[in-house]
Structure 1
Amino acid sequence: MVKKVFFFDLDDTLLDNFAAFCQTLKQYFPEREQNPDEIKRLYVTFRLKSETIYEESLSNEPKKVTSEFDRWKLVFNYFQQHFTQADLAVCDQQYHIFQKEQSLLPEYQRLFEKLQTNGVMVGVFTNGFATAQTNKIKQLNLTQHIPADQLFVSDLFGDAKPNVSCFEKLKEVLPTEVEEFFYVGDSYKNDVVPAYHAGWQPVWLNRFNERKVDYHTYQANDFDQLKHLIEELI
């Protein structure tokens, strides 16, 4: 009987988009000195812009939708480098190529196995469009470690984070005997806040040392901390 579940976010939690971002910067801005802390802050801004673009894409007012390439304007402006629309498109294309080369850390595979051995249900719940996120799930071979019926994309719920209703809908399809719900994610806005308000216990993978939390939540700054924290919670 399942009493406890751990669901994980996908992008920037299981799939390392930051690594793809850094690879893209090295290819297109090789002459620029890149301070690690500054690059992390730049990526946080880039990611927030990506989230805004996704939210706009769900809007009923298409005229307000910003091009996905626009997030790269932030990067070119940061490096004070002239750009054309073609430059933005090529940069974005290369980012997606590097993104598709990422794989699931073996440490995550072992963590999933340990959770399941301890009678904990493991799943994935990710924002995004069904086709794109399903391809990422296949890319990481997640069905080799997690049953397919425990892998969820918000689009299939007709919803999107940071809506609290996403997590409420997810609860509805889980076993009724579950007593503790944990959600592991990297985004304070999209993961921590709505999960908390839906009655889940957020576990924040705060890789980029972002703002302090306003809610009680567990927090880890890297995978090693995350692993030890989850092992304590089970």
Structure 2
Amino acid sequence: MNLHKKALFFDVDDTMYDHLHPTRDALRTVLGLSERFPYEEAYHRIRYYSDVLSAKGGLLEGKAGQDELEDMREGRFVLALQEFGVNITREQAVDIQKEYLDRQYRIEPFEGATSLMDELSSAGYLVGLITNGLEDHQMSKIRAMALENHIAAEHIFVSGTVGYAKPDPRIFEVVNERTGTLAEHCCYIGDSWRNDVAGAVAANWRVIWFNHRKAAPESEVAGVYETAASYSELKKLLLYPTYV
């Protein structure tokens, strides 16, 4: 058992890599949107609707079928883009999703991400991933970034297989149980206020909000969190005692 071992777990989407890039490229390719379009704002709304629609159907816990998954993936583009005066058909949403998926599997980690993981492992930390989504989809992204070369397979947790999805604190409890760690010895790093910060705080983990997009907190959380905007800042927080 690792009851006294310190552990660090990372989110994947928009924490290990820039999730905006494949989204922006897909919108440009299918819709021909100009450089002036507010891609980052639209990205945040697409993620919002992705979370809302997934929660309704239990998609992130692996409780829905392919039809429900496709409805969510297409619906998030339709609903989000409407807010920016761009009305698209379901057929266009299908095309955006296809382009987006193709680019999802041609991604690279943020600068310093994998080297930090290696340094943490060398320093004696248990290092892993906790990500929302379906197993095949998330693992394809993990393999695209070659993260399996830096993290043991048994330390990768995908909500669709675990049966609980962030922000449900039970996914963090499952991680503690399966890795033999304690909440007070664990830290979670993620970009999503709702899923990552609120979820990990509720599980009594240490939390670092990877806020590289300089977003504002979406709500109050009943706990303490730290903030980093780059992997160099994360390194200072995690490896240098004067920053802890």
- Please give the TM-score of this superposition, normalised by the length of structure 1: 0.86
CA distance in 2, matches of 1:148, 1:157: 14
Counterpart in 1 of 2:135? 130
Counterpart in 2 of 1:168? 173
Counterpart in 2 of 1:42? 42
The 8 Å contact of residues 4 and 178 in structure 1, kept in 2 or not, is answered as no
CA distance in 2, matches of 1:190, 1:139: 23
Shift in CA distance, 24/144, structure 1 to aligned 2, threshold 3 Å = same
- Residue 240 of structure 2 aligns to a residue whose secondary structure is helix
Counterpart in 1 of 2:15? 13
Counterpart in 2 of 1:143? 148
Comparing 203-212 with 221-230, which one deviates more in the overlay? 221-230
2:86 maps to 1:84: no
CA distance in 1, matches of 2:129, 2:57: 23
Which residue among 189, 192, 197 is the counterpart of 1:192? 197
The 8 Å contact of residues 32 and 79 in structure 1, kept in 2 or not, is answered as no
Superposition map of 1:18-97 within 5 A: 18-30=20-32, 32-34=34-36, 38-58=38-58, 66-74=71-79, 76-78=81-83, 80-97=85-102
- Please give the TM-score of this superposition, normalised by the length of structure 2: 0.83
Comparing 15-24 with 52-61, which one deviates more in the overlay? 52-61
CA distance in 1, matches of 2:15, 2:181: 27
2:240 maps to 1:232: yes
RMSD: 2.7
Comparing 14-23 with 196-205, which one deviates more in the overlay? 14-23
Counterpart in 1 of 2:210? 205
The structural deviation recorded for 1:99 is: 1.5
- Which residues of structure 2 form unaligned runs of 5+? none
- Which residues of structure 1 form unaligned runs of 5+? none
1:10-46 alpha-carbon deviations (Å, 9 max, x no partner):
11111322111122233345452426xx432221111
1:37-74 alpha-carbon deviations (Å, 9 max, x no partner):
x4322211111111122212317799998532112124
Runs of 4+ residues over 4 Å off in structure 1: 59-66, 176-179
CA distance in 2, matches of 1:74, 1:178: 37
1:130-178 alpha-carbon deviations (Å, 9 max, x no partner):
2222222222211111111111112222211111111111111123578
Which residue among 204, 224, 233 is the counterpart of 1:216? 224
The structural deviation recorded for 1:120 is: 0.9
The 8 Å contact of residues 184 and 206 in structure 2, kept in 1 or not, is answered as no
The 8 Å contact of residues 195 and 202 in structure 1, kept in 2 or not, is answered as yes
- Residue 187 of structure 2 aligns to a residue whose secondary structure is strand
CA distance in 2, matches of 1:126, 1:42: 22
Shift in CA distance, 179/40, structure 1 to aligned 2, threshold 3 Å = same
The 8 Å contact of residues 56 and 64 in structure 1, kept in 2 or not, is answered as no
Percent of aligned pairs with the same residue? Answer: 27
The 8 Å contact of residues 6 and 122 in structure 1, kept in 2 or not, is answered as yes
CA distance in 1, matches of 2:68, 2:152: 38
